[in-house]
Chains A and B, each alone.
Chain A
Amino acid sequence: AQRVTQPEKLLSVFKGAPVELKCNYSYSGSPELFWYVQYSRQRLQLLLRHISRESIKGFTADLNKGETSFHLKKPFAQEEDSAMYYCALSSSGNTGKLIFGQGTTLQVKP
């Protein structure tokens, strides 16, 4: 079965501390993985995708096929990073359908 698991509902860190939001997936084919973010009172939006291998707002995520993971990392958290983060898997090639994890709330304390 195709599944995305985010084991932490809440991650609380202090400003300047490193952050790692965990994501594991189950998928039989070649996965396309994404991180979406929802800031307070804003709509859900794409943060980054594994294909691009990009760093957005200091965040990076590496696809590890051996561990079936796609953890989101940032070396120094900022207060404005506080948000809900969703890991998502594209399940059907290019149809745009996504399977989402349950989300992790990141709280960055001053």
Chain B
Amino acid sequence: GESVGLHLPTLSVQEGDNSIINCAYSNSASDYFIWYKQESGKGPQFIIDIRSNMDKRQGQRVTVLLNKTVKHLSLQIAATQPGDSAVYFCAEMPNGRRALTFGSGTRLQVQP
């Protein structure tokens, strides 16, 4: 569900493990999805995107999975590194709109 204020859901993993960050999106008319990484004091950094005509897309160490049936998006990070520690946001773009709707974010903590 939604998190409020500073109480972001937190995922804590060991360095070298794989991480999975989940996101439930709200609009069944959304046709474009993006994952962003945000470090403290910085703007969101683009990681990977996926269009609604796909259910999986791979990048370097990252994979995004899209399940339109249950409106679920996930980001998988392989061999997680301390530099991956950040807040991760999913964002959706409803068909016909150009503004992104952001999820509330998940904090990833990587333990060395």
Indicate, yes or no, whether A interacts with B: no
Chain B residues near A (Cβ < 8 Å)? none
